[in-house]
Amino acid sequence: MAKAEPQSRRQTRGAILELLLRRKGAFRPELSASTALTDVSVWRIVSELRQEGWVVESRKRAPYVGGPSSFFTLSNDHAVLGVELSNGRLSVGLGGLDASVLQSWRCAIPAEPDQGVFESRCRELLGEALAQRGRRGLRAVQAAVALPGYGGPAHRRNAIFPWDLERLHAFLRQCLNPVPVALTNSVIAQAAYDRYAIGADALGRDHLFVFVGHGVAAAIVSAAGALDAFAPVEMGHAVVQRGGARCRCGHHGCLEAYTSLQAVGEIVGLDEASMLARGDAWLEPGALGPRELAQLRDRLVLLGLGIGNALNLHGLRDVVISGWPSLLGPEETAAVAHGVDESLLGGLLDDVTLHFRKPGTGSDPGASVAFAAWAFARRGGVDSPEPAALAA
């Protein structure tokens, strides 16, 4: 990770909290090495975070010469809340500052619910989560809501996310005040899950993160950047077959109409709810016949086409793919590379690498909890008004 250059006390606190979140704890020299401040300044801020109860210190043998040393982790006494609309269900999670999910509540909801339906179910689940937080004696310090199709502060209405944004903010304030709430696009929350819950963001290079689930979405991930610098890309709605299969966005031939969980479920004979209930075990290549595998390979070539075209727009040379394609064998995943090769200028040269990540099917609301944990760290554990990017 590039050395951060914090400019204010709040940013320095944020950099330290984020490092503890990302690494699940750190020794003192690691904290100094990752910020642009002196050891003395870092120590002063860590002491402050300890006194405020955000960080705890323990003794642990360090991986370098010397005896047990001070090891710092995020405190378990505080909670974050995550709300997620994904896979045709609404899920709410109570999580720790370390992005772990302590408990979750879910209910089925129409894939494109109207705002009133969302509000009534969400109010119910949040009520349960907040009551449980009270019973556990935890203080909620941040909430995050991850929604498909959400386009940030300058959001324009679309068929995937047609809601009134002001009404949504008012609803969340009513349910969660005084807990700060961060709104984000589902794929950015998935990138947060990849970085902070799975801890797999070890590429150290900027990359295209592609998530293939109920929808197909992508984000341009900056290795050294914060999540709010990631740009969501609605790759699932790139048309790969003019006049083709109807998509939920209202168009025909979108990538999503061929590669979403629902579309692939038709090939393997499972509905989306059964897939989610089985977790990653829903797709066992050994249990599929040659015909199904051939159909899946066709879909993966289309996915590769979409990825190749995204790479034509951005100079990225690494792609992380999370979702059902990662559950298949080398012959199937090679089909993705084949599609990229067909659409990328110059073809899939040696310098383009595809990385397949285990998706954690049905792990919602883990992504929104991870985003909430990041949003807390980002504001440095300071209770002053949110930066504009988070308040959006």
Stretch of 73-81, 94-102, 179-187, 244-252 lying at the interface with Zn ion (CB under 5 A): 244-252
Lay out the site mask for Zn ion across 252-271 (x = CB under 5 A, - = otherwise).
--x-----------------
Lay out the site mask for Zn ion across 273-312 (x = CB under 5 A, - = otherwise).
----------------------------------------
* From candidates 249, 300, 310, 375, binder to Zn ion by CB under 5 A: 249
The two beta strands, 231-233 and 216-221, are: antiparallel
Q: Compute the least distance from the CB of residue 112 to Zn ion, in Å.
A: 12
**How far is the C-alpha of 296 from the C-alpha of 358, rounded, in Å?**
17
By CB under 5 A, tell whether 377 contacts Zn ion: no
Nearest to 201 by CA among 231, 225, 235: 225
The answer to whether residues 148 and 161 touch, using CB atoms and an 8 Å cutoff, is yes
Q: Compute the least distance from the CB of residue 237 to Zn ion, in Å.
A: 4
The structure tokens listed for 346 are 């110059």
By CB under 5 A, tell whether 375 contacts Zn ion: no
Exposed e or buried b per residue across 291-329, where buried means at least 16 C-beta atoms within 10 angstroms of its C-beta: eebebbbebbbbbbbbbbbbbeeeebebbbbbbbbbbbe
Q: Compute the least distance from the CB of residue 217 to Zn ion, in Å.
A: 11
By CB under 5 A, tell whether 336 contacts Zn ion: no
The structure tokens listed for 132 are 């449980």
Q: Compute the least distance from the CB of residue 242 to Zn ion, in Å.
A: 13
End-to-end CA distance of the chain: 27
Q: What does residue 311 show for φ and ψ, rounded to 5 degrees?
A: -70, -25
By CB under 5 A, tell whether 237 contacts Zn ion: yes
Stretch of 65-73, 121-129, 180-188, 240-248 lying at the interface with Zn ion (CB under 5 A): 240-248
Stretch of 150-158, 201-209, 232-240, 328-336 lying at the interface with Zn ion (CB under 5 A): 232-240
**How far is the C-alpha of 220 from the C-alpha of 222, rounded, in Å?**
7
What does the radius of gyration of the chain's CA atoms come to, in whole angstroms?
Answer: 21
By CB under 5 A, tell whether 238 contacts Zn ion: no
Which residues ranging from 140 to 199 are in contact with Zn ion (CB under 5 A)? Answer: none
3-class DSSP string for 42-82: HHHHHHHHHHCCCEEEEEEECCCCCCEEEEEEECCCEEEEE
By CB under 5 A, tell whether 235 contacts Zn ion: no
* From candidates 79, 122, 216, 247, binder to Zn ion by CB under 5 A: 247
Which parts of this chain interact with Zn ion (CB under 5 A)? 237, 247, 249, 251, 254
